[in-house]
Amino acid sequence: MKSISVIGSGTMGNGIAHIFAQKGFRVSLVDIKSELLEKALATISKNMDRQVAKGMLSEQEKDASLDLISTFTELEKGVAEADLVVEAATEHLPLKLEIFRNLDQLAPAGAILASNTSSISITKIAAVTQRPDQVIGMHFMNPVPVMKLVEVIRGYATSDQVTKSVMELSRKLDKDPVEVNDYPGFVANRILMPMINEAIYSLYEGVAGVAEIDTVMKLGMAHPMGPLQLADFIGLDVCLSILRVMQEGFGNPKYAPCPLLVNMVEAGFRGVKTGEGFYSYT
Ligand code: CAA
């Protein structure tokens, strides 16, 4: 695989474009507005500067990597030569299904269609295409250039060959891929989100304050961030939507989101991206 198209240039999309370009792949980054693409390129450049400052990348390698990224506002042009498409658009089911219907029409017949979804069923996404055996999940973690994991999710119809190719490709990105099956929350969020929800319940029930809960988990369990800070970093709306997918998918009340989380999202407190969550970022 040489040519990768990334759909969506937000936090995850620009991180995914960054690491593919850094490893020498040609990247077509696609979004609906050119301002979003310009912002994404500036973010990639800034994040590469961090790597240059640490000696992980030379200035020449940074420039060569940036040269490998082309930007497109038209999906048709952006995926015309793709060997692999990685979709990293907003976590909204109708939008994802629409994108995959279009990708199926527009991407070359042999191209693998991957989604970076954190909780939407790969099987459901694959079912709207004529190539469900070539549809797979590639769930990167934020911040993509730093985190080693790629959760590789096999949909019900994903072929062994496609899974093997995506596992190998992930290793070429210097990541450690883990293969999992397609059930709600996969593995990463099935375990992470109940922990975050329980931290929010601990706050809601007055067991301890925000800083105290995070300190217990940081110092007691060696987590780099406490669960409430991590929830802010992921986005409280994203946490809520993943919990609802699991609650509905398993039909089990143990995944029901804490009422405090629901209230915060409804009030517009979505974490780092809105400036307010469990902490203030203004
Ligand atoms: N690009 C490149 N490098 C980056 C970066 C980026 N976007 N963000 C951070 N870094 C680098 C920094 O340069 C720094 O490097 P050195 O330590 O070598 O100097 C290093 O990462 C740490 O960054 P900082 O010093 O700025 O801050 P930190 O020590 O607090 O670490 C962190 C930041 C890496 C984010 C760390 O707090 C962490 O690991 N947090 C947990 C992250 C996590 O759990 N992510 C998964 C979220 S869940 C998810 O993504 C999936 C989902 O479906 C919800």
SS3 for 28?
A: strand
Per-residue model confidence (pLDDT) at position 150: 98
SS3 for 210?
A: helix
pLDDT tens track for 7-33: 999 999 999 999 999 999 999 999 999
Closest CA to 188 of 174, 201, 200, 178: 178
Closest CA to 227 of 208, 244, 247, 246: 208
CA distance 224 to 217: 9
Per-residue model confidence (pLDDT) at position 95: 96
CA distance 7 to 79: 9
Ranges of each domain in the chain: 3-181, 189-274
Ligand 1 atom nearest 118 alpha carbon? 53
Active site residue 18: no
Interface predicted TM-score of the whole assembly (ipTM), two decimals: 0.91
Q: Considering only the C-alpha atoms of the chain, give the largest distance between any 2 of them, rounded to a whole number of Å.
A: 56
Q: From 14, 50, 196, 241, give the residue whose CB has the most ligand 1 atoms within 8 Å, as the site to mutate.
A: 50
Per-residue model confidence (pLDDT) at position 111: 98
Class of domain 3-181: alpha beta
Report the first-to-last Cα separation within the chain, whole angstroms: 43
CATH 1.10.10.10 for the 189-274 domain, yes or no: no
Ligand 1 atom nearest 48 alpha carbon? 2
Please list every protein residue whose CB sits less than 6 Å from any atom of ligand 1: 47, 50-51, 54, 118, 141-143, 145-147, 188-189, 224-225, 230, 234
Nearest CA to ligand 1 atom 33: 224
Nearest CA to ligand 1 atom 17: 54
Active site residue 223: no
Per-residue model confidence (pLDDT) at position 85: 98
Would you say 99 and 125 are in contact if contact means Cβ atoms under 8 Å apart? no
Ligand 1 atom nearest 239 alpha carbon? 54
CA distance 33 to 271: 24
Q: From 14, 46, 146, give the residue whose CB has the most ligand 1 atoms within 8 Å, as the site to mutate.
A: 146
CA distance 19 to 222: 27
Residues of the chain with pLDDT below 70 are: none
SS3 for 105?
A: helix
- Of the residues 189, 197, 202, 241, only one is catalytic, namely 189
DSSP category for residue 88: -
